[in-house]
Structure 1
């Protein structure tokens, strides 16, 4: 099965994808209702449920975000051909769920959240570098010293990391 086959299957029968994209934020809401508000967040057992929810929502969201970057930057896909279920809803679900979790519990108390944000930073930086290299003509790089490219890469990583921390 290829990604094209998977996307076609989801497009033809979107019920399972929609069910998943609706049930994960609903599960987050239920965990926040059942959460014991008297226990400090660092000792709350609900932080492990939030960790599972973060991974359930971030993996499809990150994939959809990177798919959109690839399709719009490299394949030159038109915005009018955007598949809402595959390319937009996972990102929207991820953002809304993370914003809701942020109101319930600080991210530093959720196990593994730093790993997923670092993973997204790394993938975004790699996509940025690949796009830069794709647009760059090879003769132009011979005039730019390598240490400028390395410094630009480090600055790109820091900017992405800072933006991610400010976003949530």
Structure 2
């Protein structure tokens, strides 16, 4: 079974994915209602928020990465987007993070820093792969590998710095 087969199977039954992904922001909304108002009460619910963040961000990050890959490398048209697989997980992630952010700062959610670091790594890797794809460095190169490695590390640091300033 290929990834394309999985996406076609999911697209054939979109209601199941819709229900599963809709449950995550609904869970965040209900957790916001039940977690209380004081900092002590909210603090007790931080691991529930962490689970909700991971449940929303893993498919959302995958969908963002898939979209970037399909548009940059495969040259997929916007008109050919699969809304169930490519758009709905991103909307779920945004809605869940927005609901959670209203109740608790992300600094207090356990493991959120690891997610942002993972997203930074993915962004840097895609950026480097896109640069290599566009410049055809892999075909013939007189650039020493050390310079490419230094460029990748610099790009990673710049993206990480920009990400931390953005959020």
When normalised by structure 1's length, the TM-score is: 0.88
SS in 1 for 2:39: coil
Say whether 1:24 aligns with 2:28.
Answer: no
Shift of 1:146: 5.2
- Show CA shifts across 1:69-97 (max 9, x none): 11111111111101111001111211221
What's the C-alpha RMSD, in Å, of the aligned pairs?
2.0
Say whether 1:117 aligns with 2:113.
Answer: no
Shift of 1:61: 0.4
User: What number of residue pairs does the alignment pair up?
Assistant: 166
Shift of 1:159: 3.2
In the alignment, which residue of structure 1 is the partner of 2:14? 14
Shift of 1:166: 4.2
In the alignment, which residue of structure 2 is the partner of 1:67? 66
Shift of 1:145: 5.7
In the alignment, which residue of structure 2 is the partner of 1:51? 50
Following the alignment from structure 1 to structure 2, what is the Cα–Cα distance between the partners of residues 20 and 13? 12
SS in 1 for 2:32: helix
In the alignment, which residue of structure 1 is the partner of 2:100? 101
In the alignment, which residue of structure 2 is the partner of 1:36? 36
Following the alignment from structure 2 to structure 1, what is the Cα–Cα distance between the partners of residues 146 and 110? 36
In the alignment, which residue of structure 2 is the partner of 1:82? 81
Q: Mind listing any 5+ residue stretches in structure 2 that lack a counterpart?
A: none
User: Alpha carbons of 1:162 and 1:20: their partners in 2 closer, same or farther (altered >3 Å)?
Assistant: farther
Q: Mind listing any 5+ residue stretches in structure 1 that lack a counterpart?
A: none
Runs in 1 of length 4+ with deviation above 4 angstroms? 144-148
